[in-house]
Amino acid sequence: MLTQAIKTSHTASAEERESILRQIYSQVLERQPYAFERKQMADLEKGFIKGKLGIRHFLKNLAVSPVYLKCFYECSSNIKFIENAFKHFLGRALHDESEIRFYDDILIRQGVGAMVSQMLDSDEYRKAFGSFTVPYWRNRRYESPSDYLESEFLSREHAGDRGWAIPTLYWHELHLDCTGGRCRPLVGSSRRLRC
């Protein structure tokens, strides 16, 4: 995951765009794609490298690609998927339950593409990243101690480290520890839940 701004411009060379592409993959896929995945995204990559697609439009297409969907949507609950999308596209953790409800409603009614487009077309995205910056994990003011903790946990999480079902926002409310992909009560019980 990126922790600093990586910028490009309209006049970037193909080599510069290839470098930016690697940074986008680090942020969004949390790794570089495998050779067979690159083949699946060959046309999308060519459009970006040739300058036909900007970062935002590339991200919108990447979010609905079989590669991203398989990594983060198909094996995940909706709310965990939303949490990962916030991390990848807005560079932050969810603030509260109302954000989950808002984006979950879009996801259920209109699908992944509409949900990610809502994020990428938002004022927050435009102010934070504009047209020429790859999304990255942003330092910001925290609204509460739990907002700080959730952000700290999420910023260090690698895909699947803490399961695919329960987002960080709910850990604290449910008094769970889901590190290692298994959820355990924090106090008093040996009962384990699969995340």
pTM of the model: 0.81
Whether residue 161 is contained in a domain is answered as no
H-helix or E-strand spanning residue 134: strand 133-134
* Chain centre to alpha carbon of residue 188: 33
Q: Is the dihedral of CA 68, 113, 21, 80 positive or negative?
A: negative
Half-sphere exposure of 153 (CA within 13 A, CB side): 25
Whether residue 182 is contained in a domain is answered as no
Whether residue 1 is contained in a domain is answered as yes
Segment 58-100, tens digit of pLDDT: 999 999 999 999 999 998 889 989 999 999 999 998 888 899 9
Whether residue 178 is contained in a domain is answered as no
- Residue 139 — very low, low, confident or very high, per pLDDT cuts 50/70/90? confident
Whether residue 7 is contained in a domain is answered as yes
The residue count of the chain comes to 195
Structural tokens at position 24: 């986008």
Q: What is the CATH number of the domain that holds 29?
A: 1.10.3130.20
Whether residue 183 is contained in a domain is answered as no
**Domain membership of residue 10 as a residue range:** 1-141
- Rounded CA-CA distance 192/126 in Å is 42
* Structural domains of the chain, count: 1
Whether residue 191 is contained in a domain is answered as no
Whether residue 190 is contained in a domain is answered as no
- Rounded CA-CA distance 111/97 in Å is 19
Predicted local distance difference test score (pLDDT) of residue 96: 83
119 burial (CB, 10 Å; 0-12 / 13-18 / 19+) is buried
